[in-house]
Structure 1
Amino acid sequence: MPGSVTSPATRWAATLGRSVRLFRDFRVEQSDPGRFYGALARDSVGQVTRYTRLDGAVMLDVGGGPGYFHEAFQRAGATYFSLDADVGELSGLGEILPGTVVGSGMQLPFADDSFDLCYSSNVLEHVAEPWRMAEEMLRVTRPGGLVFISYTVWFGPWGGHETSPWHYLGGARARARYRRRHGHDPKNKYGESLFAVTTAEGLRWARTQQAAEVVATVPRYHPAWATWVLRVPVLREVVTWNLALVLRKR
């Protein structure tokens, strides 16, 4: 089973320059998704290899979407499977890729202990029962395997996604304002496909779940020296932006 590695993780570092590049790409997330998600996928491979070897690993990407992460993880040597509930998202780059399953993250259609790595990026805030999905990810991961979950926190600058920063006045109000302004609902509909998930909730779930050791909790896009923000209760909700929870199943 893949285990801890020192290479190629040594080629990835949570530097300030890396954070600046990601935030620049993030500005074009909707207008040029290929640029943003391609960069994020490559960065994700580097970040995950800090904790586990991908070469030879069988992995599941929960909410994998149209395939930006498929190429990056396959190139790193993983056998990549993806699950998504939205067929439209899956076909966003054309033909749906082999190894793709349509299903719910809150009820994963896989047996217990099926994968070396269970990964999810920016999906948890889009499901009605986020911690049920997190428990499902733990269930399908093999003992000794890694679970990597990251999500956009509600009180961060991008918590309302395209309705930001009006989500600070309430998700329903921000959705209604967007509809008035653009003549249609946002892609991410508060209460249907977008939910308020906080930093505190993620840290609490990681601390109280019993199935895995917590390897790391980090503000995903920040430089390494900025991890201290997670220790400050109110500040962490605003500046974390995206929280990553890394666990190793017992």
Structure 2
Amino acid sequence: MTRYFARRATLKRSFGLLSDFRYEQTDPDLFYGALARDSVELIGDLYRGHTERDLTGTTVLDVGGGPGYFADAFGRAGARYVPVEPDPSEMHAAGLSVGDSIRGSGLALPIRSDAVDVCFSSNVAEHVAQPWVMAEEMLRVTKPGGLMVLSYTLWWGPFGGHETGPWHYLGGEYAARRYQRRTGKEPKNRFGVSLFDIGAKDGLRWAKTQTAGDVLAAFPRYHPRWAWWMVKIPVLRELLVSNLVLVVRKR
């Protein structure tokens, strides 16, 4: 079911996304605009691989959608895009207005069961103290036969510490204190508060033990197709996969 996205997963794409990451803090419009386009391509390709249809007419729930950077991109693809965000300051951070925005927690989604065609979360699970509770909630609200797509940053990867990296390799608390000393302010992503140690093995264990769906794929989001084998190698995957995508079909 990854055959369409696999064609897009090239080294050129990887380098392009890598170059955009440096703008996350300084130019979020540029960074999230590029990430939005890539996310729509990812979800569109996975959905097409699963159903042989595009996203036209589907409802896509984005858990942790923030201020709605992805709304226009999903709208252009023909989907009804519904972001869920618990923090009102995040919802209004970019001055955007998304009509279907919902304020709510990913740990207890204010959505009825079996409601959406695709439930998606991008780079959020590492900011949640109970990410697998969130994953269970994502599956709950997905329609039978629909897709749950969870993409998250691995702690031991190069971007695991977010703005406090690469010092997170010496410990999350140390990295946070060092950032504070160097910049004079607390990091946005504070270890133990809004940033947590989450690895590939954690997600793969959850995918194997959950009972509400069938795991269709697990691969590195930002790597070229020829590097996807890394997910299969313990220890190595924690250091090199960077961002793991789990794709589950709701039963």
What TM-score do the two structures reach when normalised by structure 1? 0.94
Aligned-partner Cα distance in 1 for 2:231–2:31: 25
Aligned-partner Cα distance in 2 for 1:22–1:43: 9
Judging changes above 3 Å, is the alpha-carbon distance between structure 1 residues 186 and 110 closer, same or farther for their aligned structure 2 residues?
Answer: same
Judging changes above 3 Å, is the alpha-carbon distance between structure 1 residues 11 and 217 closer, same or farther for their aligned structure 2 residues?
Answer: closer
Deviation at 1:10, TM superposition (A): 7.4
Q: Which amino acid aligns with 1:31?
A: T
Are 2:241 and 1:245 equivalent residues in the alignment? no
Aligned-partner Cα distance in 1 for 2:7–2:122: 18
Aligned-partner Cα distance in 2 for 1:40–1:94: 18
Aligned-partner Cα distance in 1 for 2:2–2:228: 22
Q: Which amino acid aligns with 1:28?
A: Y
Paired residue for 2:50?
none
Deviation at 1:179, TM superposition (A): 1.2
Judging changes above 3 Å, is the alpha-carbon distance between structure 1 residues 195 and 11 closer, same or farther for their aligned structure 2 residues?
Answer: closer
| CA-to-aligned-CA distance 1:153-182 (integer Å, 9 cap, x gap) | 000011010000111111111111111111
Report the secondary structure of 2:106's partner residue: coil
State how many pairs are aligned.
245
Paired residue for 1:207?
208
Q: Which amino acid aligns with 1:59?
A: V
| CA-to-aligned-CA distance 1:2-45 (integer Å, 9 cap, x gap) | xx899xx5796101101110001112111111111111111111
Mark the runs of 5 or more structure 1 residues left unpaired by the alignment. Answer: none
Aligned-partner Cα distance in 2 for 1:68–1:16: 25
Which residue, out of 40, 45, 64, partners 2:40?
Answer: 45
- 8 Å contact from structure 1 (residues 5, 49) kept in 2: no
- 8 Å contact from structure 1 (residues 163, 186) kept in 2: yes
Aligned-partner Cα distance in 1 for 2:169–2:21: 20
| CA-to-aligned-CA distance 1:58-97 (integer Å, 9 cap, x gap) | 1110001112111111110111111001111111221432
| CA-to-aligned-CA distance 1:183-233 (integer Å, 9 cap, x gap) | 111000111111110011011111111111111101000001111001111
- Root-mean-square deviation (Å): 1.6
Report the secondary structure of 2:245's partner residue: strand
- 8 Å contact from structure 1 (residues 16, 222) kept in 2: yes
Identity over the aligned pairs, expressed in percent?
56
Q: Which amino acid aligns with 2:89?
A: G
| CA-to-aligned-CA distance 1:114-138 (integer Å, 9 cap, x gap) | 1111010000000110000000000
